[in-house]
Amino acid sequence: MVMGDLVVEVDVAVVGGGPGGYSAAFRCAELGLEAVVVDATARLGGACLFEGCIPSKALLHVAAVLDAAERAKEFGVDFGAPRVALEPLRRWKTERVVGKLARGLASVAKAKGVEVVAGRAVFEGSRELRVEGETPQKIRFKHAILATGAAPSPLPGLERAGDRVLDSTAALALADVPGRLLVVGGGYIGLELGQVYAALGSAVTLVEMLDGLLPGVDRDLVQPLARRAEKQFASILLGTRVVALSEAGGAVEAQLSSGETLVVDRVLVAVGRRPQSAGLGLETTRAAVDARGVVAVDERCRTADPYVFAVGDVTGEPMLAHRAMRQGKVAAEVIAGRPSAFDNAAVPAVVFTDPEVAWCGLTEAEAAREGRAVTIARFPWAASGRAATLGRADGLTKLVADPESGRVLGVGLVGPGAGELVAEAALAVEAALTVEDLAATIHAHPTLSETLMEAAETLLRRA
């Protein structure tokens, strides 16, 4: 790096230190390219580590422990009523989980020679960016990788509703456990955080605009989760919108499209995330940004500007950390002249609720929408020995295959541990394995993974 008048010259400037950004920077370093990461928080990890995937999963683990203790009564073990102390819980989440991982990332960056620059990056053309912050500087780059992620969308029309209205970031900070919590949005964030707060003792009401939870996901996968959530939550109101929110006397009044008025202590708004592409000076580059803020990229993660690449949530759906990480590596490899492409057939999606819902590849709903002929096998976990020993028979494993070739095109799972099981499914779809390949592979007994083999065998018997 050449310093002089605070103009820094690098091979690759990575804007944003989340999973997409740090994966890209690390891969650049491995390929011999000098890379710096510009991040407003001056640390690596992004929304995923500090206000998303990791802290929510830590809290969901706590919810699962509470739930397991409760369920233990079924087989004669009674721990008594749990007492939750918020301060130690917050400390554990922030220091032992998030803090430890953040220190790990920082040390990897150091070992690989990736510098993290604190500040806000603003593009000044296709070869240079300005860093605003404590030490303003300019970075001249041969290539830039935009990885600025996404932020929670506010409720349309209700952007300024006060401190008692939380987004997912605020909810994960766990300021308190409200007696009554209204969750707006029945997507994965609303359901995950709704279950966390329900387990910690809140009476949760969930409102979803559409007529089902997890819109877009196959209904048979959602059903076991919906049934469980109905028991955990005070109520679930489908086909309902929040039309007005007002704070009054330490509570929030929510007016619903049904005409009903709810009085709650806090409101969590989880109505999706939108790309963060505004205010970055992208208009000084040739990168194309659409009306929703999505930066258009091709298979090699190139924007319309030959010097600017983009990865992760800022490039649109599916907004998932693991997609961003793969894209980050692809962008770095393409910049290094390697024949890399983000051409993955399977981007696994996991909803870390109880039960977990996971899928990858072609879903049944997509096949129906595209009019594509598929064969489908469902294996209910009621027939799984392992599920019985866990006291959880509410799961389902579903295989979507091509009727002609027998190739596995997609897999859907619901049940405890579905998020881990989807790994095998993703491998099968990505490597274009056939149903026969799955059926003929030995799966350890008794495990939940056997359900994939069983579903495959069901299809083979039918053929």
Helix (H) or strand (E) holding 224: helix 219-232
* DSSP three-state, residue 380: strand
Which residues, other chains included, contact 369 with Cβ-Cβ below 8 Å and sequence gap of 6+?
none
Residue 153 binds another protein (CB under 8 A)? yes
* CA–CA dist 221, 376 (Å, integer): 13
Residue 335 binds another protein (CB under 8 A)? yes
Tell me which of 85, 373, 442, 444 binds another protein, using CB under 8 A: 373
Is 445 annotated as catalytic?
yes
Amino acid at 106: A
Residue 317 binds another protein (CB under 8 A)? yes
Tell me which of 255, 423, 436, 460 binds another protein, using CB under 8 A: 436
CB 377 within 8 A of CB 455: yes
User: Footprint of another protein on residues 191-230 (CB under 8 A)?
Assistant: 208-210, 212, 215-216
Instruction: Count CA atoms within 13 Å of residue 126 on its CB side.
Output: 12
* CB nearer another protein, residue 180 or residue 300: 300
Q: Going residue by residue from 113 to 152, which x/- string records binding to another protein, judged by CB under 8 A?
A: ------------------------------x------x--
Residue 239 binds another protein (CB under 8 A)? no
Amino acid at 427: L
Residue 420 binds another protein (CB under 8 A)? no
* CA–CA dist 386, 420 (Å, integer): 15
Tell me which of 334, 349, 351, 387 binds another protein, using CB under 8 A: 334
What is 30-55 written as a DSSP string? HTT--EEEEETTSSS-HHHHHHSHHH
Residue 154 binds another protein (CB under 8 A)? no
Based on the number of CB atoms within 10 Å of its own CB, is 207 exposed (0-12), middle (13-18) or buried (19 or more)? buried
Helix (H) or strand (E) holding 408: strand 408-414
State the nearest-atom distance from the C-beta of 413 to another protein, in Å.
18
Amino acid at 147: A
* CB nearer another protein, residue 50 or residue 307: 307
State the nearest-atom distance from the C-beta of 444 to another protein, in Å.
24
Tell me which of 233, 307, 352, 359 binds another protein, using CB under 8 A: 307
Catalytic residue IDs: 445
Binding stretches for another protein (CB under 8 A): 143, 150, 153, 185-187, 208-210, 212, 215-216, 270-275, 292-294, 302, 306-307, 316-319, 334-341, 343-345, 362, 364-365, 367-376, 402-407, 409, 430-434, 436-437, 462
